[in-house]
Chains A and B, each alone.
Chain A
Amino acid sequence: EIQLQESGPGLVKPSQSLSLTCSVTGYTITSGYDWSWIRKFPGNKMEWMGYISNSGSTNYNPSLKIRISITRDTSKNQFFLQLNSVTTEDTATYYCARSYYDGYSPFDYWGQGVMVTVSS
């Protein structure tokens, strides 16, 4: 069974960096899928943040491009989100999810999500 699990601090101070980990079990992240970060804001707006592909290339939402970095550790079957210079506007529930690598596919597996609050 494929499972994705987010982890990371639930509280981050403004201007600092937010760092999250997505641990994947039941599927190898180097095989045929793109691995995304998505966030859901209070009030329910959802935003796709970016992905790292099975080959290690990245694609970011232009709205975040100067602040975001998605990397991976293939030996641990994990991928990571780093979001720099956070503000209270980055308070959200963060999800990792996968989609087929062709770029025209939905998210078929999601993690449970981790709530992150940006506050001093």
Chain B
Amino acid sequence: DIQMTQSPASLSASLGETVTIECRASEDIYSNLAWYQQKPGNSPQLLIYDANSLADGVPSRFSGSGSGTQYSLKINSLQSEDVASYFCQQYNNYPWTFGGGTKLELK
């Protein structure tokens, strides 16, 4: 199985700040990577697919980058509604696997 190592596990940031979350795959996943946002009590929502493509309706302050084994999610100008958990997922190889998640809170 491909292991997805996500960091940090938790993050505290101020409104307006830029935050970055990292995801490292145990082998090359050829940009077959998605990022999801999950707010408490809600289901995960797709933010980014194919490492850097914005899903429909997602604000442009979210962006994804990376290749090979290293990927990142950046949130520019943090808003209060961005408080959530974020996790990455690879869909290059079965079984599809997820990162451990990052809990983002406001400072």
Give the B-binding residues of A (Cβ under 8 A). 44-48, 59, 61-63, 95, 97, 99, 103-108, 110-113
Contacts and interface: CB of A to CB of B under 8 A. Distances in A.
Interface string B36-51: 1000001111100100
Given A111-B43, A112-B43, A104 B96 contact: no
A47 B98 CA distance: 7
B40 to A, nearest CB: 12
A62 B49 contact: no
Which of B32, B42, B94, B96 has the largest number of chain A CB atoms within 10 A?
B96
B89 interface: yes
Nearest to A107: B46
B100 A45 contact: yes
Contact of B44 (A63, A103, A105, A110): A110
Contact of B95 (A62, A105, A106, A113): A62
Contacts of B85: 44
Contacts of B44: 95, 97, 107, 110
A62 B34 CA distance: 22
A23 B19 CA distance: 37
Nearest to A4: B43
B46 A106 contact: yes
Contacts of A59: 94
A118 to B, nearest CB: 21
B34 A106 contact: yes
Given A104-B91, A106-B89, A48 B46 contact: no
B92 interface: yes
B100 A106 contact: no
Interface in B30-75: 32, 34, 36, 42-46, 49, 55
A108 B46 CA distance: 6
